[in-house]
Amino acid sequence: MRREEYACPNGCSLPPRKKQLREYRNGTYGFDFYDFTFCPCCGSLMPYSLKKLKGFFEVYNIHAALSDAVQLIYKSEFESAAREAFVAVENYLKKKSGLDSHGFDLATRALSFEIDKQTGEIKRAPLIAINDLKNESERNEQDGIRYMLMGFFQGPRNLYQHNHIGSGASNSISVIIEASFFLHLLDGHSITQNGRWIPETVDYREIYQKMPKRIDRWRLVRLLKKRARRLKKNS
């Protein structure tokens, strides 16, 4: 952590930054700075932690419907961020299903379906279908996501809505990640059909083909510096 990052965003008075005896992951010991992940006075994310969290959310590809929840967690409003994530999922379910229910009942009615036991055909299609429901794997996925959403609302959502549970960043981040998982599925990114929705590899061949044969080195340096300044300003 840089010295300027050892500062509470709320201006709290922190103890002097000193080196202490620390145990490293490989089992060795040495003297190094002990830096706080959160401000020990107010509990806000330290600048270095906030930078890491933004990078993680960017890699994970958090669903766009959770932008308000993400901004709240950047402000270290952890409980409010989790509540906003629950609201985002509930509103998304209402919009796609056309139902005016809430929570557990909404998830049950929106994703449930019926099968004719004799023919194996779908008797009643779900209001929201995660996939085509053509085989057992796809139907299991539909049922599994329905049960997960029911538990999502019945368990953690009720705790956050009706109690002041004093949740920290870890629980709130977990809620946002789970909410993003559900929202991507509701968008039609079925695991059984698509496998994944987060791009893990990039095909650079097309990029290289579009690049000019001769690159102005100094122009490239200027562009990279300009991009770095813009990213630093936005972070």
Residues 111 and 187 in one domain: yes
Residues 65 and 33 in one domain: no
Task: Give the separation between CA 63 and CA 53, rounded to whole angstroms.
Answer: 15
pLDDT at residue 178, rounded to an integer: 93
Residues 140 and 24 in one domain: no
Instruction: Count up the domains in the chain and report the number.
Output: 2
Task: Give the separation between CA 224 and CA 66, rounded to whole angstroms.
Answer: 30
Residues 94 and 184 in one domain: yes
Which residue's structure tokens are 């669903």? 63
Residue 219 falls inside a structural domain:
no
Task: Give the separation between CA 190 and CA 186, rounded to whole angstroms.
Answer: 8
Residue 235 falls inside a structural domain:
no
Among residues 11, 2, 71, 78, the alpha carbon closest in space to that of 39 is found at 11
Residues 182 and 67 in one domain: yes
Kindly give the pairing relationship between strand 114-115 and strand 29-33. unpaired
Residues 41 and 65 in one domain: no
Residues 29 and 122 in one domain: no
Residues 105 and 182 in one domain: yes
Among residues 87, 185, 53, the alpha carbon closest in space to that of 128 is found at 185
Residue 18 falls inside a structural domain:
yes
Domain of 71, in residue numbers: 61-194
pLDDT averaged per 10 residues in sequence order, the chain, 235 residues: 71 74 71 70 84 88 92 91 93 91 90 85 87 86 91 85 69 91 84 54 59 66 77 73
Among residues 76, 73, 77, 96, the alpha carbon closest in space to that of 182 is found at 96
